[in-house]
Chains A and B, each alone.
Chain A
Amino acid sequence: GENVEQHPSTLSVQEGDSAVIKCTYSDSASNYFPWYKQELGKGPQLIIDIRSNVGEKKDQRIAVTLNKTAKHFSLHITETQPEDSAVYFCAATNTPLVFGKGTRLSVIA
C-alpha cells in the first residue's frame, strides 16, 4: 500500500518569511496529492491539491509542487502570517487517502 513520509515534524518561522513542507510517497499509481490544514480543536480542512499530471499549482500565498519521477511533493507558504499557524498534513491517494504524520507550523510575530 501507499506510504507517505512528511518532513519536518515541526517548523517555526518569523512572520513574513516563507515555509516549506516536503513529502514523499511510495505508490506510483497515486494520482492526487492534497494538503490539509488543521487548526487547534478542529478537523482537517483541504487547502489545496495537485494532480499527477500537473507540476505546480498556486493559490494566493500557497503553492504546491510535484515531482513524479522522484515521488515527492511540497507545500510552499509565502509571506507567512500568524493565522497560518496550524498542523499541515500532506496526503496521497489512489484509494483510499493516506496521510503523512503532519507538520506543526508556528509563525512567530
Chain B
Amino acid sequence: NAGVTQTPKFQVLKTGQSMTLQCAQDMNHEYMSWYRQDPGMGLRLIHYSVGAGITDQGEVPNGYNVSRSTTEDFPLRLLSAAPSQTSVYFCASSKQGAYYEQYFGPGTRLTVT
C-alpha cells in the first residue's frame, strides 16, 4: 500500500492564482481531512469528510474548497491564493470511528508571493 499520497510536494503561487492540492489514499478509509501547519500554530483543521459526498468545515476553512466524489480522493482547492495561505498542508485519513488514528501524507509546502 502506498498509504496517503500528496502532490505536489512543493508549489509557489502568485497572489490571486488558484490551484488544487491532490490527496489520495489506498487504505479504503472513510474519513479524510486537510490540515495546515504553521510555525507555533500546530496542526489546524481546514476541512474534513466522513465519506464520499460528505464534507464539513474545520477550524480554518476560509479560502479553501473541498469535494469528495470518491472514497480514495480528497482534493483541496485554493480559490484565490493569498500570502496568508503560505503553509505546509497535510492530508490525513482514518477508518470510520477511529479518528484518533490518522495516517498522514508527506505534506505539500506552499508559498504564495
Which residues of A are interface residues toward B (Cβ below 8 A)?
6, 9, 32-34, 41-46, 49, 89, 91, 93, 95-102
Contacts and interface: CB of A to CB of B under 8 A. Distances in A.
A99 B44 CA distance: 7
Given A96-B45, A99-B42, A99-B43, A43 B99 contact: no
Interface stretch (B64-72, B73-81, B101-109): B101-109
Interface in B21-80: 33, 35, 40-45, 48, 58
Interface of B: 4, 33, 35, 40-45, 48, 58, 90, 92, 99-102, 104-107
Nearest to B101: A46
B40 A101 contact: yes
A34 B100 contact: yes
Contacts of B105: 43
Contact of B99 (A6, A41, A97, A102): A97
